[in-house]
Amino acid sequence: MGPLEGIRALELTRMPPGALCTLILADMGANVIKIEAPPQVEVRGAGFTLSRGDSVKEASYNFLDRNKRSIAINLKTAEGQRILHQLVRDADVLVEGFRPGVMKRLGGDYEALKEINPRLIYCSLSGYGQDGPYSQMPGHDINYISFGGALDLIGEADGPPVVPLNIIADYASAALHGVIGILLALFARERTGKGQHVDVSYLDGVIPLVAAVPGVIDYFREGITPRRGETALSGCYPYYAIYETKDGKYISIGCIEPWLWENLCRALAREDFIPYHFLLEHFVKKPDEKYAKVFKELKQIFRIKTRDEWFDFLKDKDVCIGKVYSWDEVLNDPQVLHRRMIVEVEHPTLGKVRQVGIPIKLSQTPGSIRRLAPYLGQHTEEVLLELGYNAEAISELKRRGIIA
């Protein structure tokens, strides 16, 4: 039994961050119903939304929608909105990912739905939040990390900002903060009996993530603006950097603490490097010529062996080392497999389907993969029957294009 067993959640999102938010709830036992637009309804999107059509294979490998049911409702109609309102009556959580104002046009804004269900936890994931001068602007991860100060700090000191994967704003900020907000609101509801609106902005969540970074965290006290490629953990110092190896691959070294750096230097028989370990002033100072010389020599040393040879040599010497993996290597790493972060799930027609595992390990109420992702509208009839619709009413709704 998962910790969220008995929690009923509705998802109205089109993009992966919203799906990841509700996936975490679903993996932990929540009954998540994904409300999607029928194929005949024109939907504006980025071209890579999570609508899976009727492809069983495409759906089954889409881990973001596993443990969910899908219903297809045209919320641009009064009848479709009536179905949403019926679903809300017994729901604990609703997650929506639209620009502010869209849900109101669809009859599903918080003010309307809390009248139907005062205990509802209503989570809005939006780029800039529900208010403010930017609230109606469109955006994506690259824009949010621009405003949030993350993009300016990523890259080398003498180069332009480097665009990272869309992990920071989309997933670390919006998806994970969304889950945290929902769980906090559920906890508060246990005390007050009342639901509330959880307003999560992609931009808002980026700012504390950046502010906690060494070199940035002390800004308010010291008043020194951190610069790209000049902070302690930006790869400009030898103790925290990426090194190319003999085979053209890479290893990562993360020996921040002095004793870990000393372990590395002794393992390499270069005790003369020991003085060049972590110092507090590295948070705000550029590396000097001495550090540059050590860095240069280390780069030459690490080209002597292959990536895997270096890992085997250093892994038992209390040194922070990692192999820089390609994605296919990640899926076969012994630690990743041991922790069941890559699992196989049985499908009735496709056989074994590989999926990402569940990262939060609970000893008493663990999460589980109970079903693979549905195809678009797979459970429309099932859910409507649960709401009390009969077969004749469902057929009429289909005929009129209200559901699919």
> Which residues are part of the catalytic machinery?
140, 170
- State the fold for domain 8-208+337-399: Rossmann fold (3.40.50)
Whose structure tokens read 């649960």? 386
Cα–Cα distances in angstroms (integers) from residue 278 to residues 212, 253, 273, 355, in the given order: 18, 13, 12, 39
Write down the domain spans for the chain: 8-208+337-399, 240-244+250-323
CB 172 within 8 A of CB 204: no
Write out the chain's pLDDT in tens, 404 residues. 899 999 999 999 999 999 999 999 999 999 999 999 998 886 665 444 454 555 778 888 899 999 999 999 999 999 999 999 999 999 999 999 999 999 999 999 999 999 999 999 999 999 999 999 999 999 999 999 999 999 999 999 889 999 999 999 999 999 999 999 999 999 999 999 999 999 999 999 999 999 999 889 888 888 889 999 888 888 888 999 999 999 999 999 999 999 999 999 999 999 999 988 865 454 445 556 788 899 999 999 999 999 999 999 999 999 999 999 999 999 999 999 999 999 999 988 889 999 999 999 999 999 999 999 999 999 999 999 999 999 999 999 999 999 99
| pTM listed for this prediction | 0.93
Cα–Cα distances in angstroms (integers) from residue 229 to residues 31, 56, 306, in the given order: 45, 46, 27
For 306-347, how does the pLDDT look when each residue is reduced to its tens digit (9 = 90+)?
999 999 999 999 999 999 999 999 999 999 999 999 999 998
Phi-psi region of 6 (alpha: psi -120 to 50; beta: other; left: phi over 0): left
What CATH number has the domain spanning 240-244+250-323?
A: 3.30.1540
CA angle in degrees (0–180, nearest 5) for 191-196-201 = 130
**Computed over its alpha carbons, how large is the radius of gyration of the chain?**
25
Question: DSSP assignment, residue 273?
Answer: G
- Tell how far CA 188 is from the center of its chain: 24
